[in-house]
Structure 1
Amino acid sequence: MPWLQLKFRVPRAHAESTEAALEAAGALSVTLLDAGDEPQLEPGPGETPLWSEILVSALFEADPASQALVERLAASLTTQTATPPTIERIEDQAWERVWLDDFKPTCFGKRLWVCPHGQPPEAKEAIVVWLDPGLAFGTGHHPTTAMCLAWLDGADLAGKKVLDFGCGSGILAIAALKLGAARAVAIDHDPQALEATGDNAAANAVAERMEIYLPDAAPDTTYDVVLANILAGPLVSLAPKLISHLRPGAALVLSGVLAEQEDAVCAAYRDRVELDPTKHCEDWVCMTGLRKLEQSP
């Protein structure tokens, strides 16, 4: 079925009322996106991205009545929008598979590959994570995830127990299991992320060795490796909790941090973690280290 797409920009203050008006007029879906370059990588629960200008995209059925309705809506919105509204006919396609156009088999480190289903790598000795991220963050292509995957590829994970805090698609926990970890626990506050993680774990035949939890339901225990690819603010506020999950001598991997945020995040961990030299990729950093052995009084 084809669709009619009405698209325009509005100031952030008008976004919610505009969305409600479009839904009341019969829009089948309304999408709000950043109209500029103000990334909001992972808002917290209940938070709304604070973009200053919003790109609004509304889909309607492509029939004569809807065409007339969309044209009237576009005319009525002209004085309220930052740009003139546009109307475009969109042909139907397998929307849930569109992301595959930009998702190709990719190697991280020497042997770890992340591949969409049905696209195996050419490397003969590859360890493959088959992935469909669904609606969750994490295909490995963002520098923050790529640095974590490269670290995992070079680590000795045989028999280890791993925590992936803020698991997204589950890519890091699954990679750890594929690389020899005995068990993994994946935690995220987003139910869609937990669903994607479960599906991807099953597709990679590691579901029996993985436990998946919302934060409040997760076990209070220690691990051999703790991975947290989230954002600098949560990494700082969660430092006591993440450190408590590290057994003495355990490895910590922190990512999702911009270069200018490095000092603040390091300061939150260095008293209890012996930090390695920071790894950099584009504007992002990845911090690793080992929890310090307990000192005798």
Structure 2
Amino acid sequence: MDAAEIETWTTLGSQLEASQGVHRPSTFSAFLATTMADCRGQVVVDAGCGAGLVTVAALTAGARHVVAQDYDAAALADTASNVVKHLGNEARSRLSLWEADWRHLAPMRADVLAVNPPQRPTALLPDVPAAERHLHDGGGSDGLDGIRLVLDHAGSTRVRTTAAAALDLTTLDHHGWHEPRSIASALLPFNAAWRRLLPDLRGRVNVWEFTRNIGGS
């Protein structure tokens, strides 16, 4: 993966409006944004959109329609505002907002659902500032519960998710989905809360794509 491309999206992410309590785009989000260039003409769900960086990336790539989903109404408002500010009203006309949590993803039929899920294992959460903990809780003991929740409820044909290589995806039961393939990989800096797993705070991150197993076997 081109580090310059990740940096471009990281810079744009730092320019997005994000209300108090809304997830500001991380390096992981910027990395996910770099993989959205193949979404022209497709319907995309940005699950847990936060300030909307992945939404902006999909719309920039020419997605036919993007559904920005978040349980936080402020995040949805920020996403809409950021789309208008950076891409204009035409892009806003290709955007819908869905206030819901991941247990209600099924009605969102789409070609691809993109997600940068909470993936800090529970043991790391004490090192996250209390005011930010709600943004990172949900990974469970192995950091994979967010991905499990999305796979259990997604209504899309494909799910595209970031995952730190420090997490063991071999424990992930992906019944109903084909074995995932890595579509991008990069060495990225990690937040200080990861120090227990990654002492030098650098590690590999993959973007995995799951494709629905229509046969269900």
Normalised TM-score (structure 2): 0.64
Instruction: After TM superposition, list the pairs within 5 Å mapping 1:1-297 onto structure 2.
Output: 108=5, 114-115=11-12, 131-135=16-20, 136-139=22-25, 142-153=26-37, 156-203=38-85, 204-205=87-88, 206-215=91-100, 220-232=107-119, 233=139, 234-242=146-154, 245-247=155-157, 250=158, 252-255=159-162, 257-263=163-169, 267-269=172-174, 271-277=176-182, 279-281=185-187, 282-283=202-203, 285-295=205-215
Partner Cα separation in structure 1 for residue 106 and residue 83 of structure 2: 19
Structure 1 residues 273 and 114: alpha-carbon distance in aligned structure 2, compared to 1, 3 A threshold: farther
Instruction: Measure how far apart 1:116 and its partner are.
Output: 7.7
Query: Is 1:166–1:188's contact at 8 Å kept on the other side of the alignment?
Result: yes
Partner Cα separation in structure 2 for residue 196 and residue 292 of structure 1: 31
The structure that has the greater radius of gyration is 1
Post-superposition Cα deviations, 1:182-218, rounded to whole Å, max 9, x if no partner, equal 1000111122211211211221222111111111687
Q: Give the total of aligned pairs.
A: 169
Structure 2: which 5+ runs fail to align? Answer: 120-138, 140-145, 188-201
Query: Is 2:59–2:65's contact at 8 Å kept on the other side of the alignment?
Result: yes
Question: Percent same amino acid at aligned positions?
Answer: 19
Between Structure 1 and Structure 2, the one with more helix by share is 2
Q: CA RMSD in A?
A: 3.2
Query: Is 1:108–1:149's contact at 8 Å kept on the other side of the alignment?
Result: no
Code of the aligned partner of 1:246: S
Structure 1 residues 270 and 150: alpha-carbon distance in aligned structure 2, compared to 1, 3 A threshold: farther
Code of the aligned partner of 1:236: R
Structure 1 residues 221 and 168: alpha-carbon distance in aligned structure 2, compared to 1, 3 A threshold: closer
Partner Cα separation in structure 2 for residue 220 and residue 183 of structure 1: 15
Structure 1 residues 292 and 274: alpha-carbon distance in aligned structure 2, compared to 1, 3 A threshold: farther
- Residue 190 of structure 2: aligned partner: none
Partner Cα separation in structure 2 for residue 109 and residue 258 of structure 1: 16
Partner Cα separation in structure 2 for residue 157 and residue 149 of structure 1: 11
Partner Cα separation in structure 2 for residue 107 and residue 132 of structure 1: 23
Code of the aligned partner of 1:195: A
Query: Is 2:43–2:66's contact at 8 Å kept on the other side of the alignment?
Result: yes
Partner Cα separation in structure 2 for residue 116 and residue 238 of structure 1: 24
**Higher RCO by CA contacts (8 Å cutoff, separation 6 or greater):** 2
Query: Is 1:143–1:284's contact at 8 Å kept on the other side of the alignment?
Result: no
